Amino acid sequence: MILIQTVEKLNEVLVRLRSNGKTIGFVPTMGAIHDGHIALIKKAKSENQVAVLSIFVNSLQFNNPDDLEKYPRDLEKDLLLVENYVDIVFAPSHKEIYPTEATEKYDFGELETVMEGVSRPGHFNGVAIVVKRLFDFVQPNKAYFGEKDFQQLTIIRKLVEQLKLDVTITACPTVREPNGLAMSSRNLRLSFAKRNIAAKVYGIIKRSQELETPVVKKIVDFVQTEVKKLEPIKLDYFAIVDGNTLQLVEFLNDTENIVACVAFYIGDVRLIDMVRFK
């Protein structure tokens, strides 16, 4: 494993590898590495000759300055966790990614006007800016993202389609802690007790899948009612949507691709998750 911190050095190394016919698998992260990231890296390595991991906390995608300040950062620990799985770690400074002010504006239509787009206005433009720049720097054959961030995954696919980028986006299943809580860098900010409480949201959604009704409103009402019983959790949204358009559906038989997306706060920590219904 080699650590690279400048775009110039990254380009020098990757040009040499590509000239030797090596394929590049890429996993972009904001650090605070966990088993979900490791699963993405292993997938990238299994399908490519070279696996590249980026670690960069992208300030443009944070709506809350306090959330940005509290985001876990420990590069030394991250490097120890990934050293046996990845070939290159790209950990640039803010100036390397943004030598000048970022002014790009992307339009993803209805994909960004729901769920996270409502709760975090401007978030996906910040995501798109950094992902496009990282794709330009790494020029991967394939890039790997977790399904937990389902709306982000959908929007990145749209970005690739709109800009006709030569990269294949591969989605990987959500990796969960033993109690069912989706792996997240923000879990590091939770006590053991709060992690167990947060995991109950996933349990409620799984129970909602067993309801004998195709009526989405009944399922949503069940989840909202059950989550309200959990302290100190506050539900931001729970939505059952078309997995292609991210628009709300009324019945589970409306389409063949249906997912449930949820966002909630436990204390001041905001978590998201998703579960496939079909």
**What pLDDT score was predicted for residue 236?**
97
**What pLDDT score was predicted for residue 191?**
97
**Ranges in the chain annotated CATH 3.30.1300.10:** 185-271
Gap between the Cα atoms of 156 and 151, Å rounded: 9
Q: Is 157 exposed, middle or buried (0-12, 13-18, 19+ CB in 10 A)?
A: middle
**What pLDDT score was predicted for residue 19?**
96
β partners of residue 265: 234, 270
**What pLDDT score was predicted for residue 266?**
97
Gap between the Cα atoms of 229 and 260, Å rounded: 20
Q: Is 34 a catalytic site residue?
A: no
DSSP 156-196: HHHHHHHHT-S-EEEEEPPPB-TTSPBP-GGGGGS-HHHHH
Q: Residue 212, Cβ neighbours under 10 Å: how many? A: 5
Instruction: Give the contacts of 85 (CB within 8 A, at least 6 positions apart).
Output: 38, 41, 42, 45, 51
Q: Which of 73, 69, 82 is nearest to 188 (CA)?
A: 73
β partners of residue 266: 233, 269
**What pLDDT score was predicted for residue 114?**
97
36-59 pLDDT tens trace:
999 999 999 999 999 999 999 999
The pairs formed by 102-108 with CB atoms below 8 angstroms and a separation of 24 or more are 102/60, 102/129, 104/128, 104/129, 104/132, 106/159, 106/162, 108/155, 108/158, 108/159
β partners of residue 169: 143
**What pLDDT score was predicted for residue 176?**
98
**What pLDDT score was predicted for residue 170?**
98
β partners of residue 24: 50
185-271 under CATH 3.30.1300.10, yes or no: yes
Please state the φ and ψ torsions of residue 234, each to the nearest 5 degrees: -125, 120
| CATH class of the structural domain 2-172 | alpha beta
- The crossing angle, in degrees rounded to 10, of helices 75-82 and 35-47 is 50
Which residue numbers in the chain have pLDDT < 50? none
**Ranges in the chain annotated CATH 3.40.50.620:** 2-172
**What pLDDT score was predicted for residue 263?**
98
Edge-first strand order for the sheet with 258-266 is: 233-242, 258-266, 269-276
How far is residue 136 from each of residues 12, 15, 25, 216, 277, measured CA to CA in Å?
14, 13, 14, 41, 35
